A and B are shown apart, each in its own frame.
Chain A
């Protein structure tokens, strides 16, 4: 049973560029959440996708956008990259249900913006 997978593992971009990160959820999961983890900090919630729609959003600008596909996989897009966007981007998958979900995380994509 494959867990959550993310690609690429590492990425280097320059300021102003755009980037797309990809995530495949754990088998049987239908919900994908994205988090940003800056160096030395805890993860910060970006947004969550369920049924191909953004359901919840954290305090991130609209330069951050996403998509969920019919097979439940997801993409995170970041436009007009800033130096401060350098971080580990984590994808988590879960099975949507009332009264508590358990999120399982992938290994992350490390983005460096120069």
Chain B
């Protein structure tokens, strides 16, 4: 069975500081991994994805994620957050069917 755990329910970060969101997955084969962002009342926007190859993946809005097979992790990072990065972030795993974590809410303080 495939599943995702996002250990942090809520993270508060200062504007300009770095951000790291954790994601651990369970998947029976080579995982297809995704990070999505959701602003209040909106749908999901794809930030980045990992299918194979280079384990450090670059995405939109300055985000990157690193796939670590030995740790079953796919953590999302951003070197310097902007107030507009305040949102809900979801990690997902799967091929035709995606399984999502419960999400991490990011609050950005001035």
Q: In the assembled complex, how far is the CB of residue B96 from the closest CB belonging to chain A, in whole angstroms?
A: 5
Q: Mark B43-58, 1 if CB is under 8 A from A, else 0.
A: 1111001010000000
Q: Mark B32-64, 1 if CB is under 8 A from A, else 0.
A: 101010000111111001010000000000000
User: Residues of B contacting A92 with CB < 8 Å?
Assistant: 44, 98
Instruction: Indicate whether B102 reaches chain A with its CB closer than 8 angstroms.
Output: yes
- Determine the interface band of chain A, counting residues with CB < 8 A from chain B: 20 to 34
In contact, B49 and A45 (Cβ under 8 angstroms): no
* Complex partner residue of B96 from A55, A105, A106, CB under 8 angstroms: A55
In contact, B43 and A105 (Cβ under 8 angstroms): yes
Q: How far is the CA of A82 from the CA of B55 in the complex (A)?
A: 44
Partner-A contacts on B (CB < 8 A): 4, 32, 34, 36, 41-46, 49, 51, 90, 92, 95-103
